[in-house]
Every structure is written in structure tokens, then in C-alpha cells.
Amino acid sequence: MLALLLIARKARFVVSGTTFHLSVAPMWLGRSSEPPVRLLARQLDTGNNSMNKLLAFGLAVALATPASAQLKPYTDYTVSDTVSNVSTIKVKENMVEDYLQGIRQTWVASSAAAKRLGHIKDYNVYVSDLPNGGEFNVMLVTTFGNTSDLAPNKARYEAFMREWGTANEAPTRSTTTTVYPNLRDITGEYLMREVTFMPSK
């Protein structure tokens, strides 16, 4: 015996003791307000012949299972060479302005020096309009030309220290170790690449 149970937008078929779970697409046929799988399920109980029942079951499966095709990189989409280091920060309530004032002299200033040297492509600070909602309310994003720019490099380090200046090193370390822990928590660190979809054929 074949039974069809509908819960929200999911269907469960039981055939000879075997259960099949299917996701039902939110689509309707013609002018009927009844979802197609439920409509076809009724057909299974109307006493039609075996062929009609088999046909109705096949259509139900086809409607319940969305078509799937595996995307192919560089055919259906491309991934950027550039990579962004994203830090998500949860700044404590009413302290976002204090935190921004701090990173202006540390993270922003050092990122500007790295960009002038060509060590990074860009840097950005994002602040949430809903500072008390979610796991973070500030994002610090540094974009590199490619993954190799993230690797340690003596020449780049020495050039950066000349540009940034050793005079800034000690104050920056002091701020990051004594001030920031009272203002924020780092909730995540990510390396992100942009995905660009190719035009559909």
C-alpha cells in the first residue's frame, strides 16, 4: 500500500515498508489552490487503475524533487584571485565610537601604510546599524591580491616597519593588549573569495 503524508512543504512516501522523504516545491498547477503533490495524492486513493496510480506517483516525485545540476568552476562560475581577511567583532554596548577611535590610530593607520606599499589591495571597516543584534556589530576587512600575499615575507615586513615606523609599534601593542579587551570580543576570522556567476546559456 502507498501512503502520502504532507507536513508543511515536505512529503513522506511509504512504499512496502520503505520510507522516502521528499522536499515539496511551493508550486501550484492551473487555478487550483491545492499543491500538486496533495492533488496527485488524492488521485492515488480514487480507485484509478494501476497504471494511473503509477503515473500519478511518478509525477508526484517529479514535482516534489527539484531538478539539480552540479555547477562547474570556470564554466558556471569563477572564484577571484583576490582574498579578503574578514574579522568579525562584537563591541560592547555603547562603546562602538570608542572602539572606532582606537582602531583609527592602530588598525586603520597600519592598513593605510600597507596599502601605500602595495602589500594589500584595500581595507574597509563596516559597522552594523543594529549594534545589539547578532554575533558581531563591526567587521574589519583586508583584501589581498592573492593568497601568496598572506605568507610571511622578510622584505615586505622590513619595508612595512620603515613605513609604519617603530615609534608606532609600542603604542599599538599597548592599545591592542590593554584597551581593546575591555571594548570588544573577536567572534570570527574568515578568508573570503568573491564568486562571480557566468551568464546562463
Query: What average pLDDT does range 17-30 have in this prediction?
Result: 44
Nearest of 193, 5, 197, 200 to residue 83 by alpha carbon: 193
The yes-or-no verdict on residue 51 having pLDDT over 60 is no
Distance between CA 178 and CA 122 in Å, rounded?
27
Q: Which domains does the chain show, CATH number per domain?
A: 2-64 (no CATH), 77-197 (3.30.70.100)
Distance between CA 155 and CA 162 in Å, rounded?
11
Distance between CA 87 and CA 99 in Å, rounded?
14
Query: What average pLDDT does range 4-23 have in this prediction?
Result: 44
Predicted local confidence at residue 85, as pLDDT: 97
Distance between CA 95 and CA 57 in Å, rounded?
60
| Entry pTM | 0.64
3-class secondary structure, 163: helix
Tens digit of pLDDT for each residue in 54-99?
Answer: 555 565 555 555 555 789 999 999 999 999 999 999 999 999 999 9
Cell numbers found for residue 157: 615586513
Cell numbers found for residue 62: 517529479
Tens digit of pLDDT for each residue in 120-162?
Answer: 999 999 999 998 889 999 999 999 999 999 999 999 999 999 9
